[in-house]
Structure 1
Amino acid sequence: MTSTRQDPIERLTRRFDYHDPEYTPEVAEIVNREIGKNEGVTYSEAHGGMWILSRYEQVKAAFKDHATYSSGSGVFFPRAAGTPKFSPIDFDPPEHRARRRLMSPPLQQDVVRSLESQVAELTSRMVRPMVERGHGDFTGEVSKPLAIGVLAIALGLSESAQHQIRELTTTLWARLSKNPDLTDFWPEFRQLVSEEVRRAKEEPGDSYLSRLVGAELNGEPLSEETLQSIIVSYCIAGHETTMNTISRMLWYLGSNPLLQERLKAEPDLMPVAADETLRRWCPTDRFTRVTTRDVTIAGTAIPEGSRVVFLLDAANRDPDKFPDPDTFSLDRGNSHQHLSFGFGIHHCMGAHLARLELRIVLQELARHPVYHLTEDPGRHFENGRHIVFEKVPVKFETS
């Protein structure tokens, strides 16, 4: 490794800052691993000071202790002044519980199971043209449209909303932590949601959105602000992490044809492959909380009111929990215990839907020839948290 390459790694390991321009996906792999070697907690002066938890048991315990580690001041940090809270992730109990209850119906396991045939049909329509052509881009032709399309099926989003979600999300993440206020990224999202709410009210049906606009919170009709908070959260969280995980999984398999063959021969391993992808490459590298009291972890005192970062990528690669953690293995046995979906009251509501999509993509590809990457795809962070693949270009073998 050259000295110029080592400099940002050493600097960011000492002063961790996931918004630093040199904190690239390649650098993050090393920095997160180095921070994870620390038996205790790490402090960084970046952004006014923050503490980093990086070991598996520490992060899991903090997720579980929502009374000490509050989400109420917002889990995305820093963020432009005036940015509305996202539901339910930016709320503490009891309001968190009430909002989660409103949002959970379309993501419950039995409801998700009923969508399987629709998701399978949609996936097939996206994959088959690539196979017939012999090549294509998994991100542009599968990962992105599938994640958004499945979200639309689950919620009842319009065609117009589907076309806008990705661009609006990209703009929001690019500006949330840098702009002094929300004026040049939030109004367009607000307009999108207002249109979806208006449509759901004027054209009622049996979709989740149609039911949501008539729902109540604490005995009162949902305010426009609450509807905005819920629907924007769905639009962002409902597509982005799944999209990025599908791209990451297919990227890795594209470099490992023997793994593709094994999944064809042992389809029961497909859910394991999905969970091992989520473990090895966490789709959301970190969340933050604020302490509500003084707390001591591994002998280190963290004062009340401190910003704390849960470094999920490091926790998922904790060798005490996952031996040989940097290796992708279908024989690990505990891949499903990763923390990529969170833990405790903030466990990801969309976990069942995400796992369904990942499994069905693998099932569809198992019906077709093995594929190979044709070039190393570009990757970048959005908001210092999500690794986005610009493309995953592949070529299918011919018989």
Structure 2
Amino acid sequence: MTQPREVTDIPNLADPATFAQGVPHDAFDTIRALPGLYWNPAPVGTHTGGFWAVTRPQDIVKIEADTVTFTSSQGGAFPLPLKRPVEFDFHLMTNDPPNHSRIRRAAARSFGPRIVAHFDGWVREIVVEVLDAACAKGQFDWVTDVAAIIPARVIARVVGTPPEKREYVVGLVLDLFRALAVTEDSGAGAREISKILYAFMDDLWRKKVLAPEEDMATVLGQCVERGELNAQECNAFLALLAIAGFETTHTMMGHAMRMILEDQGVQDATMDAVRDGRTLVAIDEFLRMITPAMDMARVATKPVDFNGTQIREGDMVQLFFIAANRDPMTFDEPHKFKLDRPNSAGHLAFGSGPHACMGANLAKLELRILFEELASRNIKLRLNGEPKRGWSMFVNQLTALPVAVVE
């Protein structure tokens, strides 16, 4: 196994504590400058005692495109389970093409950019209602009262979750992320929560087949009826929508507001962009810098020489999007918020290749409307306490952002 030269100042990237106080960008800068890939030992959560940290964008794109050599079938994120669960057979994130393509295609036609563009009206209603309720308090937590509520209500409507069950599903999603800590059982608690969520979705789409509505549960339930998906695939897809559609947008909204409140330059540049009709440019820069889903994993199906690094069969490669999005060879002054980049949309916050995020257009729509409403309603906020980060090496979590309305 080819190892890079001895490095002593890189923290353990397999330990969530490394990310508790902030993303270790200095460490990622060091790793990117090393030849080949960097090996990070991990006593649990891998098949071969550690993983290769992939931090350069061109390397990540190459790996994500090669689903024959680098599979998602063993798990799409660290830690991997000790034994591959049977439910991986049905999950979009743990399938490779062509099966992955079939599952994704079943729902893509009802979740594409043209269809999402028509969501503007009712999404704006949700954003306005949430902002009005939060700002009426004078002092509130931006994460819990805004950043969590907007995507929860939006994805609930997209999926078709009844209003009275919305908080229940969000609670399950939050419990799931808390359970994804690295432990000896490698995620057994997360799998139990997933089973509960899958059972809820199974009941939901079966009811929608009998009483169709304009939502994803109806669309996917009808796919099952036509034989395009099986029941387990339908359950897994709906659960994925609930999880990914909530958590990543929730994280993005929280960190974006923190950046705005902590840096006057970011605030001015963002509001100028909104007024000039360049909101999506600002959103892409926030996505690049925040990268809500910081990493994904793949497992090598065979020995391979990857740009001089000898990867063994069974080795995990950990794709650090959060590091790739700060690559100085791709982005000038990568640690600065800049809206004049010629390649502002060239980030990997939504991944690439077959597994690129389906919900990217919906997430950008929610963020655009949020920024537009903040500007048009002249809502001004200030920090009113200490922000708090989550305990995760997967999601760039922000769990609290106390704010106060500036009159």
TM-score over 0.5 (shorter chain)? yes
2:26 to 8, 30, 33: 30
Compared with structure 1, are the counterparts of its residues 290 and 79 closer, same or farther at alpha carbon in structure 2 (3 Å cutoff)?
Answer: closer
SS of the equivalent of 1:213 reads helix
Q: 1:204 aligns with which of 185, 205, 212?
A: 212
Change (3 A) 1:72 1:377: same
> What are the superposed Cα offsets for residues 361-399 of structure 1, whole Å, 9 maximum, x if unpaired?
1101112143221223100133x201222222222322x
CA deviation string 1:267-286 (max 9, x = no partner): 22321221111111211111
**Residues 114-141 of structure 1: CA deviation (Å, up to 9, x unaligned):** 0011111110111123334433222112
Counterpart contact for 1:263–1:366, Cα < 8 Å: no
Aligned residue number for residue 13 of structure 1: 10
Preserved CA contact (<8 Å) 1:371 1:394: yes
Which amino acid in structure 2 is aligned with residue 34 of structure 1? Answer: T
Match for 2:243 among 222, 236, 244? 236
Q: Is the 8 A contact 2:77 2:394 kept in 1?
A: no
**CA distance, structure 2, for counterparts of residue 265 and residue 215 of structure 1:** 44
Taking a change above 3 Å as real, the CA distance of residues 37 and 396 of structure 1, as seen in their structure-2 partners, is farther
List 4+ stretches of structure 1 deviating above 4 A: none
Out of 391, 398, 401, the residue aligned to residue 389 of structure 1 is 398
Structure 1 residues 193, 138: CA separation in 2 closer, same or farther (over 3 Å shift)?
A: same
- What is aligned with 2:63? 62
Partner of 2:384: 374
Render the CA deviation track for 1:151-190: whole Å, top value 9, x for unaligned: 1222222224421222212222333443463574334223
Q: Deviations over 1:76-131 (max 9, x none)?
A: 23244537226322110110000001122332011110001111111011112333
Q: Confirm or deny: 8 A CA contact 1:106 1:155 kept in the other structure.
A: no
Query: Given the alignment of the two structures, is residue 348 of structure 1 paired with residue 357 of structure 2, yes or no?
Result: yes
* 2:36 maps to 1:40: yes
Give how far 1:25 is off: 4.2
Bigger drift between 238-247 and 32-41 goes to 32-41
Tell me the amino acid that sits aligned with residue 248 of structure 1.
H
1:171 aligned partner: 175
Assess, with a 3 A threshold, how the Cα gap between structure 1 residues 275 and 39 changes in structure 2: closer, same or farther: farther
Residue of structure 2 in register with 1:84 after alignment? 87
C-alpha contact 2:74 2:80 (8 A) present in aligned 1? no
- Name the structure 1 match of 2:126: 122
- Conserved? CA contact 1:295–1:303, under 8 Å: yes
Within 5 Å, which residues of 2 pair with 1:244-393?
244-267=251-274, 268-367=277-376, 368-382=378-392, 384-393=393-402
Q: TM-score, normalised by structure 1?
A: 0.89
Residue 244 of structure 1: CA displacement? 0.4
Q: How does 1:103-122 map to 2 (within 5 A)?
A: 103-122=107-126
Stretches of structure 2 lacking an aligned partner (at least 5 in a row): 1-6
CA distance change for structure 1 residues 295 and 154 in 2, over 3 Å: closer, same or farther? same
Greater CA deviation, 255-264 or 60-69? 255-264
RMSD of aligned Cα (Å): 2.4
Cα offsets for 1:328-383 (capped at 9, x unmatched) = 1122232210011111111111111111111111101112143221223100133x
Aligned length: 386
TM-score (norm 2): 0.87
Distance 1:69 1:214, change over 3 A: same
Q: Distance in 2 between matches of 1:263 and 1:226?
A: 40
Residue 225, structure 1, aligned to residue 232, structure 2: yes
Distance 1:280 1:221 in 2: 38
Q: What code does the residue aligned with 1:16 have?
A: L
Q: Which amino acid aligns with 2:380?
A: V
Q: Would you say the 8 A contact 1:261–1:370 is kept in 2?
A: no
State the secondary structure of the residue aligned to 1:107.
coil
Could you say if the C-alpha distance between residues 11 and 175 of structure 1 is closer, same or farther in structure 2, counting changes exceeding 3 Å?
farther
Q: Identity over aligned residues, as a percent?
A: 26
| 1:232 to partner: Cα distance | 1.1
Moved more, 339-348 or 286-295: 286-295
1:252-277 deviation per Cα after TM superposition (whole angstroms, max 9, x unaligned): 11123454344334422321221111
Query: Aligned partners of 1:161 and 1:102: how far apart in 2?
Result: 25
Using a 3 Å threshold, how does the CA distance of structure 1 residues 149 and 339 change in structure 2: closer, same or farther?
Answer: same
Matching residue of 2:201: 193
**Residues 69, 236 of structure 1: CA spacing in aligned structure 2 closer, same or farther, 3 A cutoff?**
same
Give the direction of change, closer, same or farther, for the CA distance of 1:14–1:146 in structure 2 (3 Å limit): closer
Structure 1: how far apart are the matches of 2:173 and 2:298? 22
Offset at residue 322 of structure 1 (A): 0.9
Q: Which amino acid aligns with 1:321?
A: T
Structure 1 unpaired stretches of 5+: 1-9
In 1, Cα distance between equivalents of 2:233 and 2:117: 28
Instruction: State the distance in 1 between where 2:78 and 2:263 align.
Output: 37
Greater shift after overlay, 148-157 or 133-142?
133-142
- Which 10-residue stretch deviates more, 239-248 or 171-180? 171-180
The counterpart of 2:102, out of the listed 82, 98, 103, is 98
Q: Which has the higher mean CA deviation after the structures are superposed, 364-373 or 256-265?
A: 256-265
